[in-house]
Chain A
Amino acid sequence: MIKKRKNILQYLVDFFSSYLLCVVSLVLLGLLVWFSTLEMQDIGLSKALDKYYSHKNFIVIPEINGGKSTYIPLPGAYWVCCVLFVNMLLGGIIRLRKGWRNIGVVISHFGIVSLLVVGFVDHHQSIHGKMEVFQGETYDYATKFDYTSIELSEFDESGVKQRPYVIKHDQVADLGDRMRRFTFKALPFDLEVRHFRENVVVVNASSRARGNDSGEIVDGFFLHPAKMDPSKDYFNYGCYVLVKPKNGEPSRKLLLCRSVGFPQTFSVGGKLYGIEMPNEIWKMPFSVDLINSVGEYYPGTRRPSKFQSTIAWTGEDEEREKVQTIKMNHPMRYKGFTLYQANWNEPINGLEFSGFEIVTNPADQWPKVCMWISAIGLLVHFSLKLGKYLERETRKEKGNKQADE
């Protein structure tokens, strides 16, 4: 018999749908998950996720034991998942021999492929933030986790801060040691941002030797790169800015850091301005008023038994205010946003306080559907296998009995 010669496409399809690729991809994914879990101890959750699971990283080099042990380079988990996705789609669904024998396999593969799609959507689309709410005030915004911003505001004569101009996180996050100039038409100055760092501490120049720090000294302080505390998983961003007045006044250097909770001030053309580095503001499609918040502990312990808040909220498309109680495992959901109870504090200056975290994820409820699909698929497949096994065993036993007779 003459074997038909395969073309390149067929070779590629064969390769991408092969069991070998499936097993290798799964082993690689397992290794990446394992290494990332171990490395979290040293670099924290966010950094480990960024390193191993970001689509920006094609290759990762695992470093565990605080960087003392370095292992061979591995492909990034995002791309391994992409390969697995293609493999499952081709090998587990499209090319699989259809029929009752394989129906369970097809269904379960379809469930897992859908789950991977959910993972991709989640990776690219979900945003996390926090909303700290005091009784008596209305909140319609949250602040994003891990996203900082540079806010510029003018102060009026009575010292009241005007509506700020904002440079968003994404506009500066990739800067590193480079410089980027920002111009605002309404402002009498330009702004140059440089040395944007993920983690810094503000150090008094006279209090310790600068060593190899490249940062400039501004008003007696400089930014010292710091290692992130993995248990806190908090990025203390920092950068240097240069205010360049358009009217020929001398430029002014300033130093910004996320953890400094107040603005640095400067004057241009006789007007006072403030610049600071708060978390990036995130506008919500609803507003929230805290009615009350309750925190209870089990008697004689600091183990929380109940944290809950009652809020009045109004959606942007709704006129009527709704009252809802948010507690552990019972969040508020609205238009793809989930608001849940994250922390609680004793009243501050007599005002009740509640800390919520907020997440938006378009693929929010899809995993439930994927789980049912996968579970049903596996159940059907393994039930068929078990049935067959039992049938074979019974037949064998009968055969043995007959042989004995």
Chain B
Amino acid sequence: MNKKVRFLGFSLTMLIILAVAGMGIRSLIVPSKPKEVNGYTKWDERVVEEMRSLPVQDGGRIKPFQTLARRYMYSMHGDRGMKVIVDGEKEKLTPTEWLMDVMFRPEMADQLPTFRVDNSDILEQVGMGVKTLRDRYSFSQIKPYLGKLQNAYEAIHKQIKDSGEKSLDKEQEQMYAFARLLQSYHSLKNPFLIDDEVKKASGFYSLESFFVSNNRDNQIARVKQAGSDTLQVIGVLDGKIVSDAIFLSGISDLGEFSKLIINPTEGEEAWSSIGSRFAKVARPTLEAYDIYADKIGALKKKYGKLSGENGDGFFADYLPVFQAYTSPLKDVQYSESLMNEVIELEKLQMAFSSGDAGKQLDTLGAFKKKYENHVDFGDEGGSISGEILLNKMSYFNNGIALLIFAGVLLIAMCLSIGTRVGGILYWCVFGLTSLACLFTIAGIVHRSWIMDRSPIGTLYDTMPFIVGAGLFLLLLIEWIRKKGIMLGVAICFGVAVLFLAKSFEISDARDQMDPLVAVLKSNYWLSTHVVIITLGYMGGIVAACISHFYIIGRAFGVVDDKETRQYLTKIVYGMVAFTLLFSLVGTILGGIWAADSWGRFWGWDPKENGALLIVIWMLVILHARVGGYIKEIGTHVCSIFGFMVIVFSWWHVNFLGVGLHNYGFTSAKAMTNIWVFYGMEFFIMIIGMAMALVVIEQKRAKKNTSKLSEVENTNL
């Protein structure tokens, strides 16, 4: 293999890496400067450390607070960290610190640039002045426009109800998603922060005192004993009732705070959150208040302005209304455990808003100790420390970093080919790529161990798996022939798919380790059908990557020697065969799973059809090759088309909105990306086809020339 091939080939592949990585980064980063946040104080590192591992109940499983924080930060901020300027210094807030701010110091969190907006037009629609199309905004900046946003949200909601989600245009989709994020942000905020005015009016300063002061009999006795100043007594009682209602509706179902208590229904049959239990007990009070408010309104209308003259009459009418309000509430009982758990939450909140790190640590320590026995992962598996370690290891991010580093060394290797340094660099690149492969596999195994299930259960899971298996296979091929080409292909492939996984994780903003629905809870079928079909995807993608290298390389005259061309074609042929075998077996296994579960082998579901399309296309390639309809270039062009078929099956069908495998997301942005991908692949196919025409023409010309010389020789 000559130097030029290695150098130019890998330089080209590196350019592709940079382009792919650049596109990925562009979708992850919003070009905005860190925002200045006045008066921000950082949390004590020990408190943050302790908070990270606090077990919370979210998405159907017990997980560390850090994972919850990451999920929310992805969905709102679109990143795993938040850059701010505090007192002129740049600071990076971790998801845990940010969520602690939102939960316990909402007034400070409101200043943080939490909300990533990719299309600022939606803010302009509600009258907000914006400078750039994509930016990040704080809640305080958005607050003045909440009313208009609410109206827009309600209008879109009605449209969805009437005409379905598909009737929304791109901007409406974004507006709807943004309004829902704001709702979500609101539910994260500390529910115990009630105005001091309200607290004073109602005569309690904490939930503890609320539960104590809520003794209705005392209040009636006070009314009955009310002597001289009737109006003042009415005022106090009415004020207490109104502030009770505001207080209770303010803390409603405790919002996301409920998630901090992991197993509040010890001894009860079905699990329900502390928040919903609290809301259930508080509901009669709020319902009674609604009736009370109506009746008092009517009384006030009847009596007009109260004075000493009409006060007694009003009081005589008020007393039965008050009794009607209090009598159904005699049965309202906040159980001991409910009161204790809500008070625990409030204590936590009070400690965290105190600013005293020692107090925060003590309270958090006591809180964790109290609930540590409740951590029961059941059948779903899980480990708080294991997940903290998983988050810390960032296997897939490290995999990307290693691959990019390997890519840089690869360029250097190409520049120094044939030298001793070149040889050393080759093994460095091989080692780094192998390390990236190991990191990816370790990440897959670690996740699988925590989830206590087969490595693939969600769309996200397929991506690292494809990278792990693909890198392993490419390294194996490289090990056999040591041509260096597969290293370049492996790096491009690994970086692209891992970036895709990262981008998907952020845009999907869901915890990808949440438990699976009942029908997928079968480790046997997940380990066979799903793993095998994903290996089929991997085979097709790897084949297509090699074909890209072949076509682009040949178009630029890089892959010009016959031996390299044949080598690449044989590998692609092998990978097509691999894809056919795994796709066919995986697809039939899926049918057998369906037959075992639903009594039908084949349902023509879009996902099933997608898998069938892969099988059909691989069969077309193999038969067309054996039949002589395609040769070398044709095989590569078809392999690239196979990539499009795989993407159709892997991604596109998920957006169709029909079938059992429908994942239900309808993001217009993702669909646009898929169409851009199809366009790019078509372009490369056209290059390949044009190249094939040139080769055919050259062969024909050569044949004619040889015929001509034969004729001349004969004439001679």
Residues of chain A at the chain B interface (Cβ within 8 Å): 18-20, 22-23, 26-27, 29-30, 33-34, 36-38, 40-41, 44-45, 48-49, 53, 115, 118-119, 122, 126, 128, 230-231, 233, 297-301, 303-307, 327-329, 331, 333, 337-340, 357-361, 363-365, 367-368, 370-371, 374-375, 378-379, 382, 385-386, 389
Contact = CB atoms under 8 A, between A and B. Distances in A.
Nearest to A381: B577
Contacts of A34: 609, 613, 648
B678 interface: no
Given A40-B658, A45-B658, A298 B525 contact: no
B394 to A, nearest CB: 27
Interface residues of B, number: 63
Nearest to A378: B581
B693 interface: no
Contacts of A230: 657-658
B59 interface: yes
Contact of A33 (B273, B514, B517, B609): B609
B1 interface: no
B601 A340 contact: no
A40 B610 CA distance: 13
B715 interface: no
Nearest to A370: B588
Given A37-B656, A329-B522, A331-B599, A19 B629 contact: yes
Contacts, number: 178
Interface string B374-391: 000000100000000000
A205 B647 CA distance: 50
Nearest to A337: B599
A359 B595 CA distance: 10
A41 B657 contact: yes
B629 A231 contact: no
Interface stretch (B111-119, B126-134, B397-405, B617-625): B617-625
B57 to A, nearest CB: 6
B601 A331 contact: no
A307 B473 CA distance: 40
A118 B619 contact: no
B597 A340 contact: yes
A2 B275 CA distance: 93
A41 B658 contact: yes
Interface string B587-605: 0110111011111111111
12 contacts: A18-B627, A26-B623, A34-B609, A36-B604, A36-B609, A40-B656, A41-B657, A126-B600, A305-B521, A329-B525, A367-B601, A371-B589
B604 A303 contact: no
A230 B518 CA distance: 25
B441 interface: no
Given A41-B658, A331-B599, A382-B577, A299 B60 contact: yes
Contact of A29 (B58, B616, B623): B616
Contacts of B521: 305, 328-329
B652 to A, nearest CB: 9
A338 B599 contact: yes
A340 B598 contact: yes
Given A22-B623, A26-B619, A299-B60, A359 B598 contact: yes
A340 B580 contact: no
B283 to A, nearest CB: 19
B598 A378 contact: no
Nearest to A19: B627
Contact of B60 (A40, A301, A339): A301
The 8 closest A-B pairs by CB, nearest first: A298-B60, A338-B599, A19-B627, A359-B599, A371-B588, A299-B271, A30-B616, A301-B60
Interface in B615-650: 616-617, 619-620, 623-624, 626-629, 648
